[in-house]
Amino acid sequence: MTDKKSIESLSFEEAMGELETIVRGLESGQAKLDDSISSYERGTALKNHCETLLKQAQLKIEKISLQPDGSTSTQPHNA
């Protein structure tokens, strides 16, 4: 497995894919305890990374409003 810095360089899709693989591995119950703990820790870091990326994406979303004259305008999304 790679270090925390490499997690930060993963795209959302890459991190989710790896997280899904970790979850499947943990659910199988086939790994040794130490390996399961390491996987769990990496999975937690991947989950946090995905949440950060989602938050950043949410902040970029703009609210599109229809004006009375039929035109549209955009405003920053207010969380």
The confidence score (pLDDT) of residue 14 equals 96
- In a 13 Å sphere around the CA of 13, the CA atoms on its Cβ side amount to 0
Of 28 and 70, the structure prediction assigns the larger pLDDT to 28
Which residues partner with 63 through β-bridges?
75
Six-digit token string for 68: 């009375």
CATH no., domain 4-76: 1.10.287
Give the tens place of pLDDT for each residue, 48-59: 999 999 988 887
* Averaged pLDDT score across all residues of the chain: 87
Provide the residue ranges of all domains of the chain, joining segments of one domain with +.
Answer: 4-76
| Three-class SS state of 66 | strand
Question: What stretches of the chain show up as alpha helix (H) in DSSP?
Answer: 4-8, 12-28, 33-60
